[in-house]
Amino acid sequence: MKLGLYGGTFDPIHYGHLRIAEEVYETFKLDYIHFIPTRISPHKMGTLVSASETRVRMLNAAVKSNPKFHVSLCEILKPDISYTYETLNDYYREHKESEIFFIMGMDSFKELPTWERYSEFFGMVNIIVCQRSGCEPSAVIDILPREVLMDLIDQKAGNFQHISGNWIFVHESQSFNISSTDIRQRVEFDRSIRYLVPDEVRSIIKETQLFQRG
C-alpha cells in the first residue's frame, strides 16, 4: 500500500489543501491520504490557532465525500507539542507493509533543518515537496545541508534518492493561491469565502463565528 501523510494546522482546511492532496494522490498513485491536524505545532508557538475540535470537524466535513481521504487524530490526541519526527516514526512502525509519502510545501521544506531530528525522516518516508509551478526543482539542492546531501546518491529528473532507498520528489502545483491566512482575514472583515472552502466548512465557520472580530 502507498500511504500519503499530509500534516498542518488546517485553520481552516480549504480547496488549495484538497486540490494539492488530489494531485499528489493521482500523480504518485497513492492508495490513501491521511490528513494529520496538529494540536500544538513547535513552529507556531505563540500563534493563536482555532480549537482542535473545530479544526477536526471542518476537516471531516471537507473530506467525507472522498473515501481515499481520512483524518488522523494521532497528533490531536497528544497532550504536548506535536513533533513530526514522532508522527512519522509511529507511522513507520505501524505500517511496515506500506510505502509512506510525507507531503509538505516548499516553504516548510526550506525550514526543514530547524525541525526536530529531521535527518531521520529520510530513513522512514519518501518526501513530496509541493511548490508553485515554475519554480526550480533544483532548489532542493540549495536547501538541504551538506551532511544530508552527502546521503543523496542518485539524481534523476529533479528527484533525489536517499541512501535508504526513499526519495525526495518535487511536485509542481497550481493550487497555492489560496491561503488559510487570507481566509481568516476575509472572515474577520466580513468578506466572502465562497469557493475558497467547501460549503460544509463555510457553514461551520459561520455557525461557530470562527475568525470573527470581537
Cα–Cα dist 75/83, whole Å: 9
Cα–Cα dist 158/164, whole Å: 18
Burial of 77 (0-12, 13-18, 19+ CB in 10 A): exposed
* Cα 196-82-109 angle, rounded to 5 deg: 60
Identify the pLDDT of residue 5.
98
* Cα 70-73-79 angle, rounded to 5 deg: 170
Cα–Cα dist 170/62, whole Å: 26
Identify the pLDDT of residue 135.
62
Reported pTM: 0.90
Low-confidence residues of the chain: pLDDT under 50: none
Identify the pLDDT of residue 147.
64
Identify the pLDDT of residue 101.
97
Q: Which residues contact 55 (CB under 8 A, 6 or more apart)?
A: 9, 10, 11, 12, 13, 37, 49
Q: Which residues contact 157 (CB under 8 A, 6 or more apart)?
A: none
Identify the pLDDT of residue 175.
66
Identify the pLDDT of residue 81.
85
Under 8 Å between Cβ of 33 and 6: yes
Q: Grid cell 528527484 — which residue?
A: 159
Cell numbers placing 33: 491520504
Identify the pLDDT of residue 154.
53
Identify the pLDDT of residue 17.
95
Domains of the chain listed by start with CATH number: 2-177 (3.40.50.620)
Identify the pLDDT of residue 141.
63
